[in-house]
Structure 1
């Protein structure tokens, strides 16, 4: 396969990391400060915000790295190999980890909803865990399909 066929996707993977880095640098400290000001009786909230967002950024960037490696495997005609299956498996686990971290933050959204008397805030808090679980399920389905394709390919190679 030509090396340029996945160039757009590689560029998209790289560009996906830039806004998250900007959020981690500029928005997360502000969110921590605002949460501490809104709920002064819960002093630990600031550190919970820092933990959830910074800890979920690590698996996010690891998943982006695995996605980039997967695109490199496609360029090298190694898409139907065990290393591609392993990359998809790692992406799946990263998405589950991100979802888990943001589920830990749901009580924070509940406290904000109680403070502002806006129950819709809780649904906003469910966006990231839900999206991460969708990505995890999609990666799991791709992993299973790829593994079955590799198994069929190896059976056909043994038959001939």
Structure 2
């Protein structure tokens, strides 16, 4: 039991540190976007879609972190197979699907930006976005695989 508590405490610390990093990003993001808009005034109108996607990512990621923290708390209290754990996993899966939707919006925005500015530099960021979709899909599949035994055990 001591090892389990130590490992869940370590994971909780990692989650808190990731949450602090997301909070710092949310605070710094508008300043970075405004500076970029000043440097590139011809593409400044993409500032709003960029900020919407960025804050959407931050909100969904923060919700996922909170649910993971709650899930670790349930594990510590030996309630890993409870209905509350299922709800946390379901919320994490919904956040993963939100990530995928926001990444698709980002891909569309990148392609439009590349077309408007007559540049072909959208291939690299687009491939990174597709890798993000793959990684997020894997996470959603893992969460779904974790949910199935919990549902069977809970009934």
Query: What is the TM-score when the length of structure 1 is the normalising length?
Result: 0.79
Describe how 1:116-127 pairs up with structure 2 within 5 A.
116-118=119-121, 119-127=123-131
Aligned to 2:138: 134
**Judging changes above 3 Å, is the alpha-carbon distance between structure 1 residues 31 and 149 closer, same or farther for their aligned structure 2 residues?**
same
Matched, 1:73 2:74: yes
Tell me which of 4, 22, 47 is aligned to 1:20: 22
How much does 1:11 deviate?
Answer: 0.9
Q: How many residues align?
A: 150
Task: Find the aligned partners of 1:15 and 1:58 in 2 and give their Cα distance.
Answer: 16
Gaps of 5+ in 2: none
Q: Once the 2 structures are TM-superposed, how far is the Cα of residue 98 of structure 1 from its aligned partner?
A: 1.8
Q: Is the 8 A contact 1:67 1:87 kept in 2?
A: yes
SS of the aligned residue for 2:127 comes to helix
CA contact (8 A) 1:66 1:91 kept: yes
Q: Which of structure 1's runs of 4+ aligned residues deviate more than 3 A? A: 1-5, 35-39, 111-116
Root mean square deviation of aligned Cα:
2.4
User: 1:83-103: CA deviations, max 9, x gaps?
Assistant: 111110111001111221121
Indicate the structure (1 or 2) with the bigger Cα radius of gyration: 1
Matches within 5 A, 1:27-42: 27=29, 29-31=31-33, 33-34=35-36, 37-38=39-40, 40=42
Which sections of structure 1, spanning at least 5 residues, go unmatched? 152-160
